[in-house]
Amino acid sequence: MRIFKFGGASIKDAPSLQNMQQIIKQFGQGQPLLVVVSAMGKTTNALEGILEAFWEGDAYQIQVEELYLFHKKIADALFWDKKHPVFADLVTYFEALPKILVRTPKTNFNELYDQIVSFGELISSMIVAHSLHNEGLPILWQDARKIIKTDNNWREGHCRLGSHTN
């Protein structure tokens, strides 16, 4: 098995994602691949800004909308069919983001940080999976939260071996 890791700068826009697709096509022929992606571009910074604004009691909704539009622009460039499931998935993630903010008690910043910032990788991996599938590549998207379990050391979690609890 070959493992590929693409950082945020290497998947920052539609042309970058198309380049990633070509790399995967070139090196993945006839063998299983594991593709790991970071959040796209400066998404992590944007999510940190959203969290900081929420934590300080400031408005953050415009920042959420801007981040949604950033990702939608990438999806628009990759998927000509505007009914493609990627668009519904984007809406689902961006509707869930503010809900997590308001439903989580403001008692542990680091716990909330881990929940919010991880959205960047979830969103980018979802877009990447849809784009690879669109290119005819066999793909199985996996939610890392279901596979990798950590302890409750927020922002410095350690993998738990032999356990499937948080």
Contacts 24+ apart (CB under 8 A), 148-153: 152/111
CA 79 – CA 83 distance, rounded (Å): 9
Residue range 47-62: average pLDDT?
96
Residue 60 has pLDDT above 90, yes or no: yes
- Overall pTM > 0.85: yes
CA 63 – CA 59 distance, rounded (Å): 8
Residue 71 has pLDDT above 60, yes or no: yes
Structure confidence at residue 143 (pLDDT) = 85
Q: Delineate the domains of the chain, giving CATH numbers in brackets.
A: 2-147 (3.40.1160.10)
CA of 43: how far to CAs of 30, 46, 62, 98, in Å? 33, 5, 14, 15
Per DSSP, helices labelled H in 56-118 are 61-78, 85-103, 109-117
With cut-offs at 50, 70 and 90, classify the pLDDT of residue 165. Answer: very low
Residue 12 phi/psi, 5-degree rounding, is: -80, -15
With cut-offs at 50, 70 and 90, classify the pLDDT of residue 166. Answer: very low
Residue 17 has pLDDT above 70, yes or no: yes
Residue 92 has pLDDT above 50, yes or no: yes
CA 50 – CA 26 distance, rounded (Å): 38
Residue 70 phi/psi, 5-degree rounding, is: -60, -50
Residue 6 has pLDDT above 90, yes or no: yes
